[in-house]
A and B are shown apart, each in its own frame.
Chain A
Amino acid sequence: MSKGMFNKKLVGSLVLAVLLSACKSTPMVDKPAGVEDKSPSSSSVKQADGNADTSGVKEVVIDSNANNGNNPLNDPNNILSKRNIYFDFDSDAVKAEFRPLIEAHAKYLVANGNAKLILQGNTDERGTREYNLSLGQRRSVAVKKSFNLLGVQDKQIETVSFGEEKVTPNCADENCHQANRRVDIAYANE
């Protein structure tokens, strides 16, 4: 990992921000189950005509393209654009080298009470997809605990997992597996 992530200045100002600002975020509202979801808000769902076939399967097309404006989260020169936290094999311990990155995002969250973070856990591809989904969850929860210690409240963080779905497939060596064992930081609505 690049040492460029370390940023003393950000850490200093972060502590202040944590002390000054209570969490003013609106609670995350879970969509109640049992709602017929004909057109999800963040995606455009198109109901294509099924082929005139006996089995009559209707096709649904989803395109969830992000529409990003200019903001510090996407500025490549800002640490907030760094979004990956890597893990050792079979471990959910958050390593010290990722502290500055986590602290920067914590500061942003505390300053922007409406911002909501999604921590996405990932695993290497060994094992079954559903089991890896659960394993990835452990890592995202570990990162969430780091955020909690920095004063970010649960209602601003959602921990999810992509398991092995978003990682580089067909790893031939351990370096590749290592790059897959990570938590990605995403912001809601970006």
Chain B
Amino acid sequence: MNKFLNKLRPILLFIISLFTSLAICPANAALEIEISGGSAQQIPIAVVPFGGSVAGQSSSSAQIDNIIGADLRRSGLFRVLETGGVVNRPTDINQVKYAEWAALQAQALVVGRIESLPGNRLKVSFKLADVLKQTQLAGMEYNIAPNQLRMTAHKIADVIYQKLTGEAGIFASRIAYINKSKGRYTLQVADADGENPQTVVSSNEPIISPAWSPDGSKLAYVSFEKKKPIIFVQSLMTGQRLTLANFKGNNSAPAWSPDGSKLAIVLTHAANSQVYIINADGTGLKQLTKSSAIDTEPTWSPDAKWIYFSSDRGGRPQIYKVSSIGGEAQRVTFEGAGNLSPRFSPDGKLLAMIRNDGGKYRVALQDLSSGQVQLLSDGGQDESPSFAPNGRVLLYATRVGGRGALAAVSSDGRVKQRLSESGGDVREPAWGPLLN
């Protein structure tokens, strides 16, 4: 068997390289994802098509391993091997002939099954194996409704990612963004891979600044539906809307506190934009910053002690911080023609921002302990940086051919992705929390 495989190996490798070069774009994606760059050391992994009693009945079983493979590939940390040329397709760990997968140069192997359960439920099981050590690294079983298959695939990809990289995954999460099309604005929520887009709210007036509640159940956003910016909080499940802030003047820039009990918002009560804190039910309004300048774009530090914000109190807009219980503001950024839109990495160690780099607005990342800054994007009007839940990727808005598009970059700057919707103008991305 081994000899036979060795003879076949050059052919198999050719087939593999052919397929991997073709298999980038997911089918029927609302957001098409384009990847460039990648980690120098990608983990070669094979995801065997899932088997089981449901396998032949729909495309669902083919889908689940495709989704897992696409997630891993998109991270830039994995090289997903094509398994089309492999005859033996194990669906459980005891059927694995490790030598065959070692011959494919796979270091890790994913096998799994989908079976019907009574009451229109599905049982999805998978095992992750270390091909070289010939051991099982992880295994899980999920009892799900059929429409949870896609999210289950993302959860499996997260388990694999976590086991093999040591970091938390990001695939079982959702992103929110605004799509402008034919004069209509829609706030949409999609899976982190851009699939399964759903409209949260649509309006003939602009919508900006969507912000996820920390538990992922609600979105705060700014809607201009009444000829002025008003902040709403909307439940994703029920569609119920709360008018969080509708004071005289502008109501904008909502930012949830880490525990979800409060939001920092920006009001123009007394003419110029100032940062306020308000309870998540719309009560208990308190002014936080007091200046005669523009203070806006507040964001909370993960420990909830600080509010960072942008302000032109020193002339050009720069980033400042103020204690979340009030006090004097301190300046945080000094470089660049201006810095805007501060956003913390989940561990609180990095601060993403939009830097005015000689008239070009780009995503920059500042290490808060060393002060070192790295420019991560190369567009001219890049905006709205948003960290993935594990802090490893930043999603942001860019422009391509005069249209808004979303882009993602790894926090080390090595892997870049572009997500664009054909015919649409996409902006204001916000990456939501991991779904458990």
In the complex, the chain B residue whose C-beta lies closest to that of A42 is B226
Q: Does B223 contact A62, Cβ atoms closer than 8 Å?
A: yes
Residues of B within 8 A of A162 (CB): 206, 224, 229
Residues of A within 8 A of B338 (CB): 127
Judged by a CB distance under 8 angstroms, whether B381 is at the interface is yes
Q: Contacts A169-B402, A170-B402 given; indicate if A55 touches B174 (C-beta within 8 A).
A: yes
Q: Does A131 contact B296, Cβ atoms closer than 8 Å?
A: yes
Q: Does A30 contact B340, Cβ atoms closer than 8 Å?
A: no
Report B231-249 residues with CB < 8 Å from chain A CB.
232, 234-249
In Å, the complex CA distance between A134 and B208 comes to 14
Q: Which stretch from B61-69, B130-138, B195-203, B300-308 is at the chain A interface?
A: B195-203
Q: Does A53 contact B253, Cβ atoms closer than 8 Å?
A: no
Residues of B within 8 A of A130 (CB): 208-209, 252-253, 266, 296-297, 341
In the complex, the chain A residue whose C-beta lies closest to that of B188 is A57
Q: Does B243 contact A53, Cβ atoms closer than 8 Å?
A: no
Q: Does B206 contact A57, Cβ atoms closer than 8 Å?
A: no
Judged by a CB distance under 8 angstroms, whether A15 is at the interface is no
Judged by a CB distance under 8 angstroms, whether A56 is at the interface is yes
Q: Does B245 contact A28, Cβ atoms closer than 8 Å?
A: no
Q: Contacts A36-B240, A37-B242 given; indicate if A161 touches B250 (C-beta within 8 A).
A: yes
B46 to chain A, nearest CB (A): 28
Contact with B along A176-188 (1 / 0, CB 8 A): 0000000000101
Contact with B along A115-156 (1 / 0, CB 8 A): 000101000011111110111011001000000000000000
Q: Which stretch from A18-26, A44-52, A71-79 is at the chain B interface?
A: A44-52
Residues of B within 8 A of A34 (CB): 242-244, 281-283
Judged by a CB distance under 8 angstroms, whether B141 is at the interface is no
Residues of A within 8 A of B226 (CB): 40, 42-43, 64
Contact with A along B393-436 (1 / 0, CB 8 A): 00000010010000000000000000000000001100000000
Q: Does A54 contact B145, Cβ atoms closer than 8 Å?
A: yes
Judged by a CB distance under 8 angstroms, whether B384 is at the interface is yes
A163 to chain B, nearest CB (A): 8
Total interface residues on B, using CB and 8 Å? 75
Judged by a CB distance under 8 angstroms, whether A166 is at the interface is yes
In Å, the complex CA distance between A40 and B243 comes to 10
B157 to chain A, nearest CB (A): 16
Q: Does B151 contact A47, Cβ atoms closer than 8 Å?
A: no
Residues of B within 8 A of A16 (CB): none
In Å, the complex CA distance between A120 and B228 comes to 8
Residues of B within 8 A of A134 (CB): 250, 266, 268, 272-273, 294, 296
Residues of B within 8 A of A52 (CB): 147
Residues of B within 8 A of A40 (CB): 225-226
Judged by a CB distance under 8 angstroms, whether A9 is at the interface is no
In Å, the complex CA distance between A160 and B285 comes to 20
From the candidates A38, A62, A135, name the one contacting B201 in the complex (CB within 8 A): A62
A42 to chain B, nearest CB (A): 6
Residues of B within 8 A of A137 (CB): 249-250, 268, 271-273, 294
Judged by a CB distance under 8 angstroms, whether B350 is at the interface is no
Judged by a CB distance under 8 angstroms, whether B227 is at the interface is yes
Q: Does A57 contact B198, Cβ atoms closer than 8 Å?
A: yes
Q: Contacts A64-B205, A127-B361, A130-B341 given; indicate if A58 touches B247 (C-beta within 8 A).
A: no
Q: Does A58 contact B237, Cβ atoms closer than 8 Å?
A: yes
Q: Contacts A54-B151, A128-B354, A134-B296 given; indicate if A118 touches B228 (C-beta within 8 A).
A: yes
Interface centre among A35, A45, A58, A165 (most CB of B within 10 A): A58
Judged by a CB distance under 8 angstroms, whether A1 is at the interface is no
A22 to chain B, nearest CB (A): 22
Judged by a CB distance under 8 angstroms, whether B204 is at the interface is yes
Residues of B within 8 A of A129 (CB): 208-209, 383-384, 427-428
Residues of A within 8 A of B402 (CB): 169-170
Judged by a CB distance under 8 angstroms, whether B317 is at the interface is yes
Residues of A within 8 A of B48 (CB): none
Q: Does A131 contact B294, Cβ atoms closer than 8 Å?
A: yes
In Å, the complex CA distance between A28 and B278 comes to 22
Q: Does B227 contact A120, Cβ atoms closer than 8 Å?
A: yes
In Å, the complex CA distance between A126 and B354 comes to 12
B424 to chain A, nearest CB (A): 14
Judged by a CB distance under 8 angstroms, whether B181 is at the interface is no
From the candidates A128, A158, A166, name the one contacting B340 in the complex (CB within 8 A): A128
Q: Does B198 contact A36, Cβ atoms closer than 8 Å?
A: no
In Å, the complex CA distance between A141 and B271 comes to 6
Residues of B within 8 A of A42 (CB): 225-226
Q: Does A160 contact B229, Cβ atoms closer than 8 Å?
A: yes
Contact with A along B210-229 (1 / 0, CB 8 A): 00000000000001111111
Residues of A within 8 A of B198 (CB): 50-51, 53, 55, 57, 59
Q: List 12 A–B pairs whose Cβ atoms lie within 8 Å, in order of A's numbering.
A: A33-B278, A37-B242, A45-B241, A53-B198, A54-B145, A55-B189, A58-B235, A59-B198, A130-B209, A137-B268, A160-B250, A169-B402
Which B residues contact A (CB, under 8 angstroms)?
145, 147-148, 150-151, 174, 189, 196, 198-206, 208-209, 223-229, 232, 234-250, 252-253, 266, 268, 271-273, 278, 281-283, 285, 294, 296-297, 310, 317, 338, 340-341, 354, 356, 359, 361, 381, 383-384, 399, 402, 427-428
Other contacts beyond A43-B225, A54-B145, A137-B272: 11, CB < 8 A: A33-B244, A33-B247, A34-B244, A35-B243, A58-B239, A120-B228, A129-B209, A130-B297, A133-B208, A133-B250, A137-B268
